[in-house]
């Protein structure tokens, strides 16, 4: 088919002609590319390559989420490009429906009726202060003491406020004072660690041991209210291997508690 001499016999040895050397060079390159392609396909199929876009409720803007969930997954999938977007659960669920996100790890509160939701775990809503805050030294605190210290809360007219207010009542605070409004959980955590007031924090089961380094949980004499969190996803046939890997990892973390 090539109509060219590729090898010659000389002095009882096989020698490549110029055409043969070029064919050998091209064939070797094709073979290497084929091996790389096969390895790439295997990695994609195993969720090791590609891109994964995950939405996470603002409630998970916590060090424990990165330490217990994100970091181990990244170590197991070092070549995967992972995108994280924090926001309100409703908006994240809509982003999954619009195919802007692959998965959303959200709170089950007012989710769109069309959302494909899978419950994972509950999380306690706990009032916390900095370890050096005066209330941290008290065995049990009263509603009046929390009122005096003041809350660090979401903006009063934000999307999350009605639910936040309901949780405050369930936590035993029927009368409270918002001392500092901050949009964003991480910023509220920093303000709380600085001793500027009391903050309500969702603590998932895997984060219980990680929340008490710089924050102290308050006891008001009533059980802590709970909220449910889970996964919003697309139809299973649209899941990428990386999506299956991350969803499976979250289920494993939630089951281990």
Domain coordinates in residue numbering, the chain: 13-45, 51-121+228-256, 123-227
Same fold, 51-121+228-256 and 123-227: yes
d(CA 155, CA 173) in angstroms, rounded, equals: 18
Fold annotation for 51-121+228-256: D-Maltodextrin-Binding Protein; domain 2 (3.40.190)
Tokens at residue 155, please?
Answer: 């903006």
C-alpha gyration radius of the chain: 28
pLDDT score, position 4 = 66
d(CA 184, CA 87) in angstroms, rounded, equals: 9
Q: Which residues are CB-contacts of 163 (< 8 A; sequence separation ≥ 6)?
A: 109, 110
Give tens-digit pLDDT for 108-149. 998 998 899 999 999 999 999 999 999 999 999 999 999 999
Give tens-digit pLDDT for 193-223. 999 999 999 999 888 776 667 799 999 989 9
Helices (H) and strands (E) in the chain, counts: 8, 11
DSSP helix/strand/coil, 32:
helix
DSSP state for residue 198 in the 8-state scheme: B
Query: Which residues are registered as beta bridge partners of 194?
Result: none
pLDDT score, position 163 = 84
Give the pLDDT band of residue 187 (cuts 50, 70, 90).
Answer: very high
Nearest one of 55, 96, 60, 93 to 184, comparing CA atoms? 60
d(CA 257, CA 213) in angstroms, rounded, equals: 19
What is the overall mean pLDDT for the chain?
Answer: 86
Give the pLDDT band of residue 154 (cuts 50, 70, 90).
Answer: confident
pLDDT score, position 15 = 65
Its sign, for the CA torsion 134, 203, 207, 246, is negative
Its sign, for the CA torsion 211, 212, 214, 219, is positive
Give the pLDDT band of residue 250 (cuts 50, 70, 90).
Answer: very high
Choose between 212 and 88: higher pLDDT: 88
6-28 average pLDDT score: 66
- Residue 202's alpha-carbon distances to 35, 122, 196, 217, in angstroms, are 48, 9, 19, 11
Hey, what CATH class is 123-227 in?
alpha beta
């Amino acid at each position: 088919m090539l109509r060219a001499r590729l090898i010659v016999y000389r002095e009882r040895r096989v020698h490549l002609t110029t055409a043969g050397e070029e064919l050998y060079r091209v064939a070797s390159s094709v073979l290497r590319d084929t091996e790389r392609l096969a390895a790439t396909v295997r990695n994609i199929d195993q969720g090791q390559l590609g891109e994964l876009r995950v939405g996470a409720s603002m409630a998970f803007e916590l060090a424990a989420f990165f330490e217990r969930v994100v970091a181990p997954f990244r170590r197991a999938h070092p070549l995967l490009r992972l995108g994280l977007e924090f926001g309100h659960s409703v908006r994240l669920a809509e982003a999954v429906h619009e195919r802007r996100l692959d998965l959303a790890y959200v709170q089950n509160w007012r989710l769109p009726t069309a959302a494909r939701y899978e419950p994972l775990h509950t999380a306690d809503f706990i009032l916390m202060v900095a370890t050096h805050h005066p209330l941290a030294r008290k065995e049990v605190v009263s509603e009046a003491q929390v009122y005096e210290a003041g809350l660090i809360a979401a903006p009063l007219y934000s999307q999350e406020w009605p639910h936040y207010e309901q949780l405050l009542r369930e936590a035993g605070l029927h009368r409270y004072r918002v001392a500092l409004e901050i949009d964003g959980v991480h910023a509220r955590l920093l303000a709380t660690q600085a001793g500027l007031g009391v903050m309500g924090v969702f603590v998932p089961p895997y984060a219980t041991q990680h929340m008490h380094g710089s924050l102290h949980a308050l006891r008001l004499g009533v059980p802590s209210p709970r909220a449910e969190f889970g996964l919003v996803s697309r139809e299973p046939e649209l899941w990428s291997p990386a999506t299956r890997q991350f969803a499976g990892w979250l289920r494993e973390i939630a089951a281990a508690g």
